[in-house]
Amino acid sequence: MTILVTRPAQDAAGVIARLQSVGLSVLHAPMMQITSVAIPRSEQDGMRAVQEAGTAYLVFTSANGVRALVQQMPDLIVAPCFCVGQQTAQCAREAGFHIIHTAWGDVASLLASIEAMPLLAHAQLFHLCARDHRGALVTTLIRKHYNARAICAYNAERATVLLPEIAGAIGTGQVQGVLLYSPRTARLFEQLLREAALQEHCVRMTAYGLSRAVVRELTANWARVWSSLQPDPALLEAQVIEDGNKRIKHDRKDA
């Protein structure tokens, strides 16, 4: 069974290794390329001043934000942080953060976890975000009367075409499953399929979505669409491995 992983390179290595370790064949077609964006010195100085006053809270909606901050301002790992989900929280722990508040994998639960802490009304929230997402979460926080600021820390550049080897594998029926991790990448993957005249091949593939929000974006005629009940990458991988084991047993039986 061959699985196509669409995560950026920074997040895909572990997924690929785990799937390969159980005998699955894996292809990698990142829908986003992540690069750091230099945080201006004035922004860094302002964040450090707030941290020294003991009122800084960091908000991460992606592990990319964690990595970008640690790369440029490693001294801020002493600040408490809010993470959108388990994977982002794990990245923060590995980076050295100790005070981590973890939501359930979506912005709604992230907002709920922030609102559950009344002392934050007197704090400064810094959202480490992508350049093209700048301000969306912060606008909501400000509307809710929080002192919040968006810090552009990385850039997420969209893929513009499927690589020839990926298009060839899909076109010849080699790919049985596609892992999709966000609504944005789900839309983009189907767009690239259409542009490559490969959308009709979805009837031979299963779309595995990290959440229901992801699979709601799918419009193609997939052989099967599966979504995790909660946005936990471990649950997604477990389902893929379970399906892979079933297929291996079926193939052996037929042989």
DSSP sequence for 30-43: -SEEEEE-PPPHHH
Q: What dotted CATH number matches 2-31+160-254?
A: 3.40.50.10090
Residue range(s) occupied by CATH 3.40.50.10090 in the chain: 2-31+160-254, 35-157
According to the model, what pLDDT value does residue 254 have?
63
pLDDT for the residue 231: 84
pLDDT digits (tens, 9 = 90+) for 161-219: 999 999 999 999 999 999 999 888 999 999 999 999 999 999 999 999 998 889 999 99
Tens of pLDDT, residue by residue over 85-108, are 888 999 999 999 999 999 988 888
Q: Return the closest-CA partner of residue 56 out of 84, 24, 78.
A: 78
Residues 6+ apart with CB under 8 A from 169: 2, 4, 27, 175
225-239 pLDDT per residue, tens? 999 888 888 999 999
- Asked if pLDDT for residue 73 goes beyond 80, the answer is yes
| CATH code of the region 35-157 | 3.40.50.10090
Q: What pLDDT does residue 87 have? A: 86
Q: What is the CA radius of gyration of the chain?
A: 20
**pLDDT exceeds cutoff 60 at 255:** no
- Mean pLDDT of the chain, nearest integer: 93
pLDDT band at 126 (very low <50, low <70, confident <90, very high): very high
pLDDT at 146: 92
Which structure tokens are listed for 93?
A: 């722990």
**Ramachandran quadrant class, 201 (left: phi over 0; alpha: psi -120 to 50; beta: rest):** alpha
Output the six-digit token pair for 63.
Answer: 């592990």
> What single-letter amino acid sits at 51?
Q
